[in-house]
Structures are given as C-alpha cells and as structure tokens.
C-alpha cells in the first residue's frame, strides 16, 4: 500500500490553473450566437428595431405612424450593453425626432429590449413647413 501524499495543495493549485485555462476560451465560445459570431445588440437602423419602435409608438400615442426613418446611433455602451438612437417619425399629425435605446433583456439568450422617449406632446404641423 502506498503512503498518502501530503502535497494536496500543489495538486489543488494545478487543478485550478488548468480549470482557469479551459474556462476562459469556453466562456468566449458560449458567448456567441448560433453562427459562431459574438452576440451583438441589434443596430438602430435594423428592420426589427424599427418595427419594435413603430409598434410601441402606435400603441402608446393613438396616432398612426406612417413612417420611421433615418435611424442613427448616438452612443454605444463601452461593453456593448446598450445603444442610444434617434430617428425621424412621421404620423398623421406631423414629423418629429424621437429617441430610443436598445439594451439586453437577457444577454445570455440574446434577447434584447427596446425602450423609447415616445412622441412629443404635440407634433409640428407638416403643412406649415
């Protein structure tokens, strides 16, 4: 029978070192979408972003949104956790600039959220421009 080895600390350190070396690439691999690309928030001008914003404006304002265009990113979070955007909205009452943001609801499962400032209380009349 072999004697018990008292160098458990050395083996524990080696085990943690190996686990760490394997965990970093594994974490990077798991933080990717189904196509192997790093997960990224939808862009401000993507169709699904504009659809989400348009649906929210229709629901909250009671006005019909005729168009939403010229979406531009103003700011992005340092680690890609949000985008701040502006766009031009055209409704039956007129045209205005609106702001909205895109962020992660569940980053691990690639589920974003959209939130916005809403329509201004009174849109300028297009006939006066």
| Residue ranges of the chain whose pLDDT lies below 70 | 1-38, 122-129
Query: Strand (E) positions, the chain?
Result: 65-76, 82-91, 94-106, 111-116
21 found inside a domain: no
**112 found inside a domain:** yes
CB count in 10 Å sphere of residue 10: 10
* Residue 68 within any structural domain of the chain: yes
Is 64 part of any domain?
yes
Domain assignment of residue 17, yes or no: no
Residue 118: give the domain boundaries. 47-128
**pLDDT for the residue numbered 118:** 85
The answer to whether position 116 is within a domain reads yes
pLDDT on residue 114: 94
Q: How many domains does the chain have?
A: 1
Asked if the structure places residue 122 within a domain, the reply is yes
Tokens of 79: 């680690």
- Burial label for 13, CB within 10 Å (0-12, 13-18, 19+), is exposed
Residue 40 included in any domain: no
Predicted TM-score of the model (pTM): 0.64
pLDDT at 30: 46
């Amino acid at each position: 029978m072999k004697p018990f080895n008292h160098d458990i600390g050395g083996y524990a350190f080696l085990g943690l070192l190996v686990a760490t070396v394997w965990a970093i690439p594994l974490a990077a691999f798991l933080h990717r979408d189904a196509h192997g690309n790093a997960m990224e928030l939808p862009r401000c001008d993507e169709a699904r972003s504009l659809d989400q914003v348009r649906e929210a404006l229709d629901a909250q304002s009671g006005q019909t949104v005729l168009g939403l265009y010229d979406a531009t990113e103003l700011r992005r979070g340092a680690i890609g956790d949000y985008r701040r955007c502006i766009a031009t909205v055209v409704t039956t009452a007129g045209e205005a600039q609106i702001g909205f943001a895109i962020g992660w609801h569940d980053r691990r499962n690639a589920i974003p959220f959209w939130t916005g400032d809403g329509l201004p209380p009174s849109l300028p009349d297009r006939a006066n421009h």
